[in-house]
Amino acid sequence: MEIIKLAWRNIWRNKRRTVITASSLMFAVIFGVVMRSMQLGTYDRMIDSAVRQYSGFIQVQDSAYWKDKTIDDLMPDSLLLRKEISKLPDVTGVLPRLESFALISYGNKTKGAIFQGIDPFLDNQMTQISHKVVKGSFLTKDDEGILLSQRLAGYMGVNVGDTVVLLSQGYHAVTAADVFPVRGIVKIPNPKLDRILIIGSLKRVQDFYGADGMLTSMVVNINSKNNIDKVLPEVKKIIDSGRFVALSWTDMNKELKQQIESDSVSGQIMLGILYVVIFFGILGTIIMMTAERRKEFGVMVALGMHRYYLAMIVFVETILLGLVGALTGELISTGIVSYYYRSPIKIGGEMKDIYEQFGIEPVLAFSKDFGIFLNQFYVVLALLVIAVLYSIIKITGFKIIDAIHS
Amino acid sequence: MSIIEIKNLHKIYNENSEIPVYAVNGIDLSFEQGEFSAIVGPSGCGKTTLLNLLGGLDSPTKGEIIIDGVNIGELSESKLTDFRMKNIGFVFQAYNLIPVLTARENVEFIMHLQHRPKKERLERAMALLEAVGIGDRADSRPSKLSGGQQQRVAVARALASKPKFILADEPTANLDSKATEKLLEIMEKLNKEENITFIFATHDARVMKKAKRLINLEDGKVIANE
């Protein structure tokens, strides 16, 4: 009798119990996958809106810039350096940026803002920012006009075609003041940024700050945030470490990183509690199953079955039971995650305001990372393996006579 | 020639307590190939304990059991398991068939443990089920068989590994007289025609009547052996 055939029949000898146990595993997997997918998807979205769309995963800056972030600590733009970094594996683009503080004034309203100079073509290739223009048009190369973030435009009461005044301190204390026509309104996913961002063409912003050919940073984007530990040292090797530094997004967004880490830990604790509950459910089933079949185990060993072989049958039974539950759970959660991956949950009402206060886009996004599915599957299998140890210990230790007469 | 020799066999429960129980108390016995013997006696006389010791299911406190020249007390658990599989067939009072296997699969079970080829397993299982008169129920699970039918499957299973002898502990205790008659007839026939050794532990008069040798136990001792 093949082990799998025997094990399969054994798990269905008590259909109700098998269905209940498999269902508990199925729900654990569904809950685990969906919850983790939502967490990681939301983190990815947060990172995407704060990092990929704005700071980049890596920035090369003048070594003095990060400490005070003054416009006096700029770095010269170097096409050669950008090209060299672009050639690194996993690097998807290098964007020149110049940004600094500016006061925006329109009518009787004035507000502090970040004025960011971008290469419209390169930036758009990387971030598809033109798709976020909700009114007006995107910038052209060396455009004289600017884009205003949606909330900032709303606050200022500015519309496309209006002209605003920007005032700031330029490079090496020159006065920076000019008027700019508003080309478009752009919706920035990160609510915090959406309140303060002004975007202009790099050339125009350099002119404004009197910083021709200068940058605050080169933004290096990569294909996956998971590759940052591989790419960052390579970038560091290329740059002149005496003049420049290469910072990772976690160096530049410590707050976001901590926020994600603490939320992730709390999610994992919840999952841990769920798995403890599920584990005791499985253990209960296994204890019952072992007690019920004690006599049968005794007979099998009496007839000449080695205990290790018997333990193997019980192990296979438990794994099969786990597979039935876990694979069904994986299948259902794949459907749920796929649906919400395409249609993320938009948060409304008071929760929306709370999210925005924390600078988080009020959207629950889902991740389709295969690792999430695999991890939940492994966790369930690990729980089963630990639980089945009870049976195995009992099988290796029982006295045949006691078992047969039980 | 003896296939089983029992020398000064003791099984004492609670040996170190104030009231030790002498389930088997210094038994010397031997069994020949082809015997059809019954160990009889009142409840608690040590019949089942003796049978369990003979089957290597329990270990004696003192004494030796030598089966076909092998002192089974000296075997490791793993070797004893293999020894049981190859040399001893068991028929239990409560049949103890594996509920998820059909009658044929139950008979095949031991041959599977012996790694016999599938074709041989199938043919022998069917032949044995035919021999015990239950070939037409080969694909039925135990729950679909009567007590008598289940016990006949158990006999076929016991024979499957071509053992040197079969130990049957109260095999008729749960059967009605018709089923008992049929079962005993089958076992007697197997004994006569194929020289298979049967050793029963029983207090069923119908079994005692068929047995060629009666070993009477009382308080763990042989009081009559005829």
Q: What is the pLDDT of residues B75-133, one digit of tens each?
A: 999 999 999 999 999 998 888 899 889 999 999 988 988 889 999 999 999 998 998 88
Assess B8–A contact: CB distance below 8 Å, yes or no.
no
Q: Is residue B131 part of a domain?
A: yes
Q: CA A343 to CA B70: how far, in whole Å?
A: 75
Cβ-Cβ contacts under 8 Å, A13 against chain B: 99-100
For residue B119, the enclosing domain spans: 35-57+75-214+221-225
Q: How far is B29 from chain A (nearest CA, A)?
A: 22
A264 plus A233 within the same structural domain = no
Assess B86–A contact: CB distance below 8 Å, yes or no.
yes
Candidate from B82, B92, B100 with C-beta closest to A304: B82
Candidate from A300, A309, A400 with C-beta closest to B57: A400
Cβ-Cβ contacts under 8 Å, B55 against chain A: 302
Assess A5–B contact: CB distance below 8 Å, yes or no.
no
For residue A101, the enclosing domain spans: 64-240
Are B113 and A400 an interchain contact pair (Cβ–Cβ within 8 Å)? no
Q: Is residue B8 part of a domain?
A: no
The pLDDT value given to residue B89: 92
Are A1 and B99 an interchain contact pair (Cβ–Cβ within 8 Å)? no
Q: How far is B58 from chain A (nearest CA, A)?
A: 6
- Residue that terminates a domain, selected from A240, A273, A289: A240
Which tokens hold the place of B65? 């059991």
Query: Least CA distance to B89: which residue of chain A?
Result: A303
A152 plus A207 within the same structural domain = yes
Are B113 and A303 an interchain contact pair (Cβ–Cβ within 8 Å)? yes
Q: Is residue A124 part of a domain?
A: yes
The pLDDT value given to residue A358: 66
Task: Give the full edge-to-edge strand order of the sheet including B70-71.
Answer: B21-32, B2-13, B62-67, B70-71
How many folded domains does chain A comprise?
A: 2
CATH code for the domain of B117: 3.40.50.300
A39 plus A80 within the same structural domain = no
Beta carbons of A106 and A179 less than 8 angstroms apart: no
Number of other CB atoms surrounding residue A359 within 10 Å:
18
Q: Is residue B10 part of a domain?
A: no
Are B55 and A13 an interchain contact pair (Cβ–Cβ within 8 Å)? no
Q: Is residue A92 part of a domain?
A: yes
Are B81 and A1 an interchain contact pair (Cβ–Cβ within 8 Å)? no
ipTM value: 0.90
How many folded domains does chain B comprise?
A: 1
DSSP H or E segment with residue B169: strand B165-169
Q: Is residue B104 part of a domain?
A: yes
- Residue that terminates a domain, selected from A190, A205, A240: A240
A160 plus A281 within the same structural domain = no
Q: How far is A297 from chain B (nearest CA, A)?
A: 10
| Per-residue pLDDT of chain A in tens (406 residues, 90 and over written 9) | 578 888 888 888 888 988 998 998 999 899 999 999 999 998 888 887 777 777 889 999 999 998 888 899 999 999 999 999 999 999 999 999 999 999 999 999 999 999 999 999 998 988 888 998 999 999 998 899 999 999 999 999 999 999 999 999 999 888 999 999 999 999 988 888 899 999 999 999 999 999 999 999 999 989 888 888 999 999 999 998 889 999 998 888 888 888 888 888 998 899 899 889 889 988 988 898 889 889 999 999 999 999 999 999 999 999 999 999 999 999 999 999 999 999 999 888 888 877 766 667 788 899 999 999 999 999 999 999 999 999 999 999 899 988 988 7
Strand partners, B169: B201
The pLDDT value given to residue A1: 56
Residues 133-172 on B with a CB inside 8 Å of A are 157, 161
A191 plus A323 within the same structural domain = no
Q: Is residue A186 part of a domain?
A: yes
A33 plus A77 within the same structural domain = no
A189 plus A284 within the same structural domain = no
Which tokens hold the place of A295? 């006599």
A217 plus A183 within the same structural domain = yes
Residues 39-58 on B with a CB inside 8 Å of A are 52, 55, 57-58
Residues 103-122 on B with a CB inside 8 Å of A are 105, 108-110, 112-114
User: Which letter does DSSP use for residue B34 in this model?
Assistant: T
Q: Is residue A169 part of a domain?
A: yes
